[in-house]
Amino acid sequence: MTDLAKDVIPGSNHELYKLTNGMAVFDPEGHGVGLCSPDAPLVSLERTGGYRYSRDFLPAKPVVFVNLYNNLYGVNFQQWIGGSWSSRVRIWAVNGYEAGASLIAPARECRVPLEAGAADGAAGKLPVEQAGIELSRPGVEVTAFGPNPDGPGLLLRLWEQIGSDGECTVRLPAGLKVTSVQPCDLRGRPHGNPLAMREGRFSVLLRHYAPASLLLT
């Protein structure tokens, strides 16, 4: 997450920004709007940024331009992609800005929407409904949860998105028989002491904007 007033390096291009999730524009009291486009991640602020390069520029007007087709440099232009096009932009109200609830959560819901599937046939043995993995903190993304590609067990990766240090309690799905939770590095090598596991739950300390990897066995 970037604050344009202090986080953008002088000398870099201040005319075009690429949004990983979304963005928020709000006044000193925290009132404004959030914005996310799952199809067009390039935006310019206050003025159209195409064919501009400003080494130092801080917008003063709450105006956002979305580069709908990213066709400035021939990317996604007609010579590459045929057929009909569409581009979505989602906007929501922000009333008292808080990074997790006002930006990260609605932006991720826009980019990674809920999906469902349906099938015909005889009923199986699985329950009609069942909870998946649950996290106690908003603004934490699950980036991996599945078989460990480097060895036995399951790999769980969490990524803190809102810039806040603190513990996050993880509740695993019922029926998942896990007895050991071992923090590891990005290569799957154990790092630190195992975490205590009680009744399908454990807590892990997350650092701001940092990933955390865990091996479950």
Counting the structural domains of the chain, the total is 2
**Coil, strand or helix at 105:** helix
Q: Specify the pLDDT at position 131.
A: 87
Domain CATH code at residue 189:
2.60.40.1180
Do 144 and 175 lie in one domain? The reply is yes
Residue 32 domain-assigned?
yes
Residue 43 confidence (pLDDT): 92
Considering the domain architecture, whether residues 106 and 139 belong to the same structural domain is answered as no
* 126 in any annotated domain: no
For residue 106, the model assigns a pLDDT of: 92
Q: What is the pLDDT of residues 54-87, one digit of tens each?
A: 888 888 899 999 987 666 666 655 556 667 777 8
pLDDT at position 72, please? 66
Which pair of structure tokens corresponds to residue 102? Answer: 């006002």
- pTM for this entry: 0.78
Low-confidence ranges of the chain (pLDDT < 50): none
Cα 60–chain centre separation: 27
Domain that holds residue 212: 134-216
First to last CA, the chain: 33
Return the H-helix or E-strand segment holding 107.
helix 105-111
Q: Looking at the domain assignment, is residue 116 inside a domain?
A: no
User: Is residue 187 in a domain?
Assistant: yes
Q: Is residue 207 part of a domain?
A: yes
- The per-residue pLDDT for 181 is 95
- Is the domain of 24 the same as that of 105? yes
